[in-house]
Every structure is written in structure tokens, then in C-alpha cells.
Amino acid sequence: MSDLFSVDGKVVLVTGGSRGIGEMIARGFVRGGAKVYISSRKADVCEALATELSRDGTCIAVPADLSTEDECRRLAAEIAAREDHLDVLVNNAGATWGAPMDEYDEAAFERVLALNVKGVFHLTKFLRPLLQAHATADEPSRVINIGSIDGIHVPMMETYAYSASKAAVHQLTRHLAKALAPSTTVNAIAPGPFESKMMKATLDAFGDQIASGAPLKRIGRPDDMAGAAIYLASRAGSYVTGVILPVDGGIATVG
């Protein structure tokens, strides 16, 4: 059973890996024995976390701004210069924006969609050769996209571009799952409320209300997120592809 959920020795890239959901996932993989690359826009924050996580295993910072195709290409090239294959890509880097509808402008939409949707597609595209290098139908490589329950239900906040982008990520996940099979599985995790910088304002204002309204009556913990990602990346998840997995205490699906 320990082998069934093992990620020991896998080479993993987690984008947006310096904080929040990405940090939770990166910590889980490092502690599971994987060699983990983390990427984010802020080089100093990325380096600091990589140094911290390297006390428990192997974590390497490769900063990048994945809102442009050129930066996605550069990050893929940096990983290819260091590794001859990639076992797991976690597309977590993302942005959000909230404003009343009358104030929601083109810049807000472009900023969110460029990173949350186009960045996921371009980075996966450029890393496809590395993902396929050692992959087989019996032991496929994995792409894990981070969507959101806001792409499943209508959110409380006026985050129009964010919810639209996450619904797009879910559909892109299904499309990529078909395109990259059988050598690569592609799934999405749709997180609910977790303690993160992106969720801070919402949880400060509505945290108790959200927790009490969730069927499981709590906010998500780091091990909830790490566990879902490790399942999808391990042998246990090797026959699962094209799935949108809510990790939300039941809020979007039975709440």
C-alpha cells in the first residue's frame, strides 16, 4: 500500500509554488521524497521557500512570470536543461481580481485569463516533450491543473474573470486529457476555501460563515490539498484522467 501512493523519486514542477495552494502541494511532494521545482514571479520568495523545503528533501527554485508565452517557453527550457524528463506538472500559478461589474475592465480580464488559462496551456505545451520522455501507458506522467469550486458554482464575490477562468481550466483539463493520452493523465483539483493569501480577504470577512455552511464544517488544511495531489500523481491515480476533483468539504457539490 505504501508503494501505491508513493511519489518517491519523481521529478515534479509546481508553478505558483511559493505560497498558498502551491506551497501546500510542494511541501507534500518534498516530504514524499520527490525532487520538486517551484516557480513563481517573486524570485526572493521562491528561493526562500526552496531553501526551507530543502531541509526535508530536494526543492529548487526557478522563478518565472507565466502570464506570457515567452516566459512559459523559458521555464520549460530551464527545466529541460536540468532534467531529461518530468513526471508531474502542477499548473497552480494564478491570479484573481474582484470589483463591481461596472468597474470590471479589460485589463482585469486580460491579467487573470493570461495567467490562469493561457499560462496553463502554454506551459503544458512546452513541457510536453519532457512529460512524454519516460512516460508509458502503464506509468503515465501527470498534469494536475488547479481549478476552483468557483468554476463549478457561482461565487459569493464579484470575481467575474476568476470564476470564468477556472471554468475554462476545467474544460481545458478535459481537452488536454484526451490530447495527451495515453502517455499523460491530465486532471484538475478544484479547491474550496483554504488558508492562503488569495483567500485571506474572503476568509477574514466570511470565514466562520463559510466553515459553518460547508457540509464538513471546516476550512481546508494543507494536508487535504497535498493528499489530493499525491493521489493523482501516484500509482493510485494512474487510471484517472479528465477528472475535476473538488476538494472543498462538499461546498460546491452537496452544500
Contacts of 51 (CB under 8 A, 6+ apart): none
Fill in the amino acid letter for 238.
S
* Residues assigned a catalytic role: 162
Prior bond of 182 cis (ω within 30°): yes
DSSP 8-state assignment for residue 194? B
Alpha carbon 122 to chain centroid, angstroms: 15
What lies within 8 Å, CB to CB, of 8 at 6+ separation is 32, 33, 34
CA distances from 54 to 81, 161, 177 (A): 21, 36, 32
Return the SS3 of 206: helix
DSSP for 51-91, please give it.
HHHTTTSEEEE----TTSHHHHHHHHHHHHHH-S--SEEEE
